[in-house]
Structure 1
C-alpha cells in the first residue's frame, strides 16, 4: 500500500505545481485504497479545480497494479482553519477563535505567516459608576496560541 501512497502523493504534488494557488489541507489513503484529498486555495476552490487534481492522480495510477478510488474535496465552510494561508485568505471576515483562556468572536483584520490580529467590540463595566459601555478590543495572536479557529457564517436579513 505504501507504493500507492507514494505515487498518489507525487501526482498530487504535480497537480499543485500546475495550480500553485491550491494547497493540501489533508491527504489520506485508507486500508481499502481510498485516496481522499481535501484542498483549499488562496481564492475560492472550484469544482473544476477538484476535478483537475482528481484526474491528475487517477489517470497516472494503474488500476492493473492496485484497485483504488480517488476523492478530492474542497475545504468546507465551518471547518477549523489550520494553515496561515487559510487565515490570510479570510482577512476581513468574522472568526470564532478559541485560545487556552477564552473564545472570541471577532473580525480578522490581519494575518501573516506568524499570527493574526483580531478586533471586536465588547460591553464592559464602566470604570466609574454603574452600567456598561462599549469598548473596542484588539488582540494579536501567534498561531501556536490558537486552539481552533473557524470562519463564522453570517446571514444578512
Structure 2
C-alpha cells in the first residue's frame, strides 16, 4: 500500500515553483489514490498528466498495485487549504458555520497561516439610514476562522 505521507511529500516537492499547490491526497484501503491540486489560474489537463507520470515513475505499480487519479479541486468542492481561499478573494462564497448559520458574501481578505486560516466576507445587508425613505444595501464585513466553519465553497449565482 502506498504511504500517504511519502506521496504527499513527493507531490508537494513536485509542485514547487510551478504555481500549483496541493489540496488533498486520499489513499483508500484498496489502494485507490486521489490527488487534488489547484492553481490561481486553474489547472489544465497537461499539468495533471505530467504529475501523474511523475508519481507513477516514483511509486512503482509492480510493488504497490494502485489506481491513480490526479485532478483539480472541483469548483463546487469545499475549500481545504489556504491557497483556495487566496485564489477566491473577490469571488462570492457560501459558508456553513459549525453552529448552523449559512452566510453568503464576497471573500474580501485572507489572513493567518495554513493552520490558522482567518478570512473576511463582505455580506450585503439592508439598513435604514436616517432621513431616507428606502433602506439601502451596504456590505458588512464578517470575520471568520476556518476552524469555525463546516464548509466554505465558491458560490454560484444564476441571476
TM-score bucket of the superposed structures, by smaller chain: 0.7 to 0.9
Cα deviation digits, residues 91-129 of structure 1 (max 9, x gap): 1101111222621111111122341111132235x488x
Q: Which has the larger radius of gyration?
A: 1
Match of 2:157?
Answer: 154
Distance 2:148 2:37 in 1: 24
TM-score by length of 1: 0.80
For residue 7 of structure 1, report the CA deviation from its aligned partner. Answer: 4.9
**Ranges in structure 2 where 5+ consecutive residues have no aligned partner:** none
TM-score by length of 2: 0.79
Distance 1:85 1:64 in 2: 34
- Which structure 1 residue ranges, 4+ long, deviate > 3 Å from structure 2? 6-11
Alignment of 1:62-141 (within 5 A): 62-99=60-97, 100=99, 102-113=101-112, 114-123=117-126, 126=128, 133-136=135-138, 137-141=140-144
Moved more, 108-117 or 71-80: 108-117
SS in structure 1 of the partner of residue 47 of structure 2: helix
SS in structure 2 of the partner of residue 72 of structure 1: strand
SS in structure 1 of the partner of residue 124 of structure 2: strand
SS in structure 2 of the partner of residue 49 of structure 1: helix
Say if 1:33 and 1:67, in contact at 8 Å, map to a contact too: yes
